[in-house]
Amino acid sequence: MDSPKATLVKEGEISIITLNDGKANVFSPEMIKDVNSCLDNVPTDSGCLIIRGSKGMFSAGFDLKVIGSGDVDAIKSMSKSGFEMLSRILDFPRPVIGACTGHGIALGTFLLCCCDYRIGLKGDFMIGANEMRTNMVIPIPILELIKFRVSQAHKYRAILGGTIYPISEAVEAGLIDEVVDEEGFEEKLSEKAQDLATMGHPSYSLTKELFIGEVSEKIKNALEEATIETN
């Protein structure tokens, strides 16, 4: 039996989902299923959630084996479930920290855009959406999400320019909130999680719902329209 692609551990008020498929942490159907299973078991009325990758790799995006298979139904199914997973993380009622432990490309970047706070590991790592360089169309749910989080001055470069940023430059672009040296990374992550876990309930969830309401609704509407079109 294959090991799960994503695992959940709880340390007091902190829930930690770790992405680890042993390679590039791609969002295959199995990874998406495992992340959703983990989310099912994270408290929604207390604490803080961390989503992290493995050493040197946060996530390289969707599974290219599925995309390259030519199986249209499989590609559509993986894409839809992946976007729904992102929507679920964006809407998560407690604070979510993205612990970017390495490269975050394509859907890896979009996942970071769903997190309330993003801490990057300092190193020779790259962050960004490469769809324009791989002849792929960025769908409406992702466009709405990345437009919501990317800094105004970087919107064209990050989306239409296909810019892949060194992690140290991703802060200015709005893709990461801070970058921390390896020796201080775990301490900073724990410190931030402990702090955000103290946010009141339901005041945090209600305020978050208001804050992200417009983009969340646009994403859900786009997903619903896509579902209707394929039926």
pTM of the complete model beyond 0.85: yes
What confidence category does residue 2 fall into, taking pLDDT thresholds of 50, 70 and 90? confident
Any domain includes 37: yes
Cβ atoms of residues 63 and 34 within 8 Å? no
DSSP state letter for 153: G
pLDDT at site 1: 60
219: left (phi over 0), alpha (psi -120 to 50) or beta: alpha
- Establish if 183 belongs to a structural domain: yes
**Per residue in 66-113, pLDDT tens?**
999 999 999 999 999 999 999 999 999 999 999 999 999 999 999 999
Is 14 part of a structural domain of the chain? Answer: yes
> Using an 8 Å Cβ cutoff, are 91 and 212 in contact?
yes
- Does 103 reside within a domain? yes
Residue type, 70: G
Q: b or e along 189-199 (b: 16 or more beta carbons within 10 Å of the residue's beta carbon)?
A: beebbeebbeb
Q: Residue 71 domain-assigned?
A: yes
CA–CA distance, 190 with 192 (Å, rounded to integer): 6
Per-residue pLDDT at 231:
40
- Where do we find the tokens 């604490």? 47
Helices (H), 40-169: 64-67, 72-90, 107-114, 140-149, 155-158
Count of CA atoms in the C-beta half-sphere (13 A) of 186: 4
Chain segment 203-219, per-residue pLDDT in tens: 999 999 999 999 999 99
Q: Write the single-letter amino acid at 181.
A: D
Strand partners, 18: 7, 52
Q: What is the pLDDT of residues 163-191, one digit of tens each?
A: 999 999 999 999 999 999 999 999 999 99
Helices 72-90 and 203-230: crossing angle in degrees, nearest 10, is 160
In a domain, 33, yes or no: yes
**Would residue 107 count as lying in a domain?**
yes
Q: What's the mean pLDDT when you consider all of the chain?
A: 95
Number of compact structural domains in the chain = 1
Beta strands per DSSP E along the chain = 6-11, 14-19, 48-52, 56-59, 96-100, 102-105, 117-121, 126-128, 164-166, 178-180
Instruction: Decide if 215 is inside a domain.
Output: no
The CATH number linked to 159 is 3.90.226.10
Decide: 149 and 129 in contact? Cβ < 8 Å.
Answer: no
Tokens matching residue 146: 């990345």
pLDDT tens string 4-57: 999 999 999 999 999 999 999 999 999 999 999 999 999 999 999 999 999 999
- Helix and strand counts by DSSP (H, E) for the chain: 9, 10
Q: Which residue has the tokens 């009141």?
A: 200
Q: State which residues form the domain around 17.
A: 6-196
